[in-house]
A and B are shown apart, each in its own frame.
Chain A
Amino acid sequence: MLEIKNLHASIEDKKILKGINLEVNAGEVHAIMGPNGSGKSTLASVIAGKEEFDIKKGTISLDGEDLEELAPEERAHKGIFLSFQYPVEIPGVTVTNFIKTAINESRKARGLEDMPANQMLKLIREKSELLEIDRKFLSRSLNEGFSGGEKKRNEIFQMAMMEPKLAILDETDSGLDIDALRIVANGVNKLRGKDNAIIVITHYQRLLDYIVPDFVHVLHDGKIVKSGTKELALELEEKGYDWIKQEATV
């Protein structure tokens, strides 16, 4: 589904990604771990199409189609979803209006009519219940004054509404207490299916107890230096990242 080959990306001439290779197939969950500053969030942003980053070399493709020339919204229309590490506060736009606009714009791009209002309401009710989101929450301004946990839950609510083909969760576990973590993980697991794929970016192993990955990759200094199965995450939890760094320099 997603194929990344020898990807080099920089921001303002600072090289951040230095040759990433990654293949994610439908039905798989990949975890990307690594120390701070290793390029995890950059990788997520580059896949989603953030324009501040320059792709210097390499390719990213989704289902065989090169993404490089596509705007962030076009990537979203093709089914890419990024759950932000720091969701942006947008005062004046309610959660409901935002999600309605997002869904209908995506439908428009696919040549579909607006989703009928009753169907939209039903979907909103269903997904907000799944994530145990209070109805009052939906009429608040997007992310404004939300706690860290509320922001993350709202991200996964949006994901559940949009049912993406490829979901990238950037540090979704940070700021979550154990109950919220379980709710969020439950929401993510509901999306898992043979036609979807998920990339979980995290610093800690904790989230992977709930969203169990098929593959774990370790990112260091802009490169994937080690790949393995879920046991690798446990090993990292136990030993930290230093041994990886040493291994990488050797």
Chain B
Amino acid sequence: MDLKDKLLSSFLAFENSVDLENPVHDLRSEAIKNFEEKGFPSKKEEAWKYTSLNSLQKVDFSIFPKEESTLEYKDIKKYFLHEIDTYKIVFVDGVYSSYLSETTHDGVDVCLMSSAFSKPMFRQVIDVYFNKVASKDESLTTLNTAFCKEGAYIYIPKNKMPKKPIQILHLATGNEAALMLQPRNLIVAEENAEVQIIERHQSLTENEVFTNSVTEIFAAKDANVDYYKVQNDANTASLVDNTYISQKDNSVVRVHTFSFGGKLIRNNLNFYQNGERIDSTLKGVTILGEKQHVDHHTLVHHAQPNCESHQDYKGIFGEKSTGVFNGKIIVDQIAQKTNAFQQNNNILISDKATINTKPQLEIFADDVKCSHGCTIGQLDEEALFYLRSRGIPKKEATALLMYAFANNVLESVRIPEVKTRINKIIANKLGVRVGFEL
């Protein structure tokens, strides 16, 4: 049985575990129909030309997570940003771990989707926001909607800001030979609210994991949302991350995606601007080796005048790794005075590494500033010689140039400890001691 059939038959069993009377279940039922009709995307589709899910579909994944496995904090501490105090929403094999988490209802709600679905106090928010910006026809998104049950629920009321950043951590223990996870997150920042979120998926063994995640983010008027995605997973872990963002007037949303590891990663990052003077920032650093594959598909839809978007993705590809960047910008006719900036720069440090990069601009307004650029190159030999002539060994000089290359993406990181951590991961990845911080 392939994965699609297994998922369809599992849906019946899944229905036994959820409240069929809940209006959310109507959304699940519709969603599974869409997935049944469309199935997994194939390479014949333009959007999936360079990323194949074929081999994943042949794996016999467990669809339902077992009971919570016990993990000791000391064993997984390193996957947390533990240098600062944070709220934590931790899932172990898809099941919420109250032991490892720190949630709150103190002025803001940092808790679980399962609670939000079932408790009447959250009903109104679910009615207004849930599944409102996520696609209803993209097959993997609808697959996630069909099985939606658990994930992070973050609600920041008007003029509020949580006392500390929030970490969402998905751990896979390897208790299953192969495990499929489908977390579903909802983040709402009401008018003038602010929130900072760090998300990470981590497999603790070499057992195969396939995560199909959907996150919806709503930023109301004047809201400010920072979202950091740390993708540094095991080489047997694959991730399809579907993130949908809806922004209102004057809101600022920044998503940083740090892709350093994993077998296959597909990021579908979609911004919908539904107001004026909105600022959307999409930044990414990708450093890959071995046979890793990362595919960034971004969409920014400018639907109102006077908005901005800033995209800056940097990639360094070694060994037999492959990368994809596809950046789509749509500017509606009404969206005059749009300022859309897109940049994708790549360095190939191996003859066998590949990058496919494509800007896709659909501009229907005439008074706009849209710039885009993509480059693919090697490390600058002259710069390397310059550094080496100052006594910096080749390996360190190479790393220094890569840091420098990736650095302007880190500049907009607003939590210093996140920046430090990312620097450390990069240093570790490049196998160098870094005696400085950028």
Interface, chain A (partner B; CB < 8 A): 48-52, 71-73, 75-77, 81-82, 84, 87-88, 90-94, 97-98, 100-106, 109, 114, 158, 162
Contact = CB atoms under 8 A, between A and B. Distances in A.
B406 to A, nearest CB: 8
Contacts of A73: 388-389, 391-394, 397
B379 to A, nearest CB: 12
A99 B347 CA distance: 25
B341 interface: no
B404 interface: yes
Interface string B407-421: 110000000000000
Give the interface centre of B382, B391, B405, B438 by most chain A CB atoms within 10 Å. B391
Contacts of A52: 381
Nearest to A97: B436
Given A90-B401, A91-B408, A92-B404, A72 B389 contact: yes
B417 to A, nearest CB: 19
Contacts of A49: 388-389
Contacts of B407: 91-93
A90 B407 CA distance: 11
B436 A88 contact: no
Nearest to A159: B390
A172 to B, nearest CB: 15
A114 B390 contact: no
A97 B383 contact: no
B386 interface: yes
A234 B383 CA distance: 36
Contact of A48 (B382, B389, B396, B401): B389
B388 A93 contact: no
Contacts of B397: 73
Given A82-B389, A102-B390, 5 more contacts: A73-B392, A88-B380, A92-B408, A92-B438, A114-B435
B400 to A, nearest CB: 6
Contacts of A91: 404, 407-408
Interface in B359-401: 380-383, 385-394, 396-397, 400-401
Closest 9 CB pairs of A and B: A92-B407, A92-B404, A76-B391, A106-B391, A72-B388, A102-B390, A97-B436, A88-B386, A88-B383
Contacts of A101: 392, 396, 400, 435-436
Given A91-B408, A92-B404, A162 B385 contact: no
A90 B404 contact: yes
Give the interface centre of A48, A49, A92 by most chain B CB atoms within 10 Å. A92
B87 interface: no
A72 B394 CA distance: 9
B393 A105 contact: yes
Contacts of A114: 435
Contact of A100 (B394, B435, B438): B435
Contacts of B406: 92
Given A72-B385, A76-B388, A158-B390, A100 B436 contact: yes
A162 B435 CA distance: 18
A81 to B, nearest CB: 8
Contacts of B438: 92-94, 97
Contact of B382 (A88, A105, A106): A88
Given A92-B438, A97-B438, A114-B435, A77 B391 contact: yes
Contacts of A104: 435
B385 A76 contact: no
Nearest to A77: B391
Interface in B103-161: none
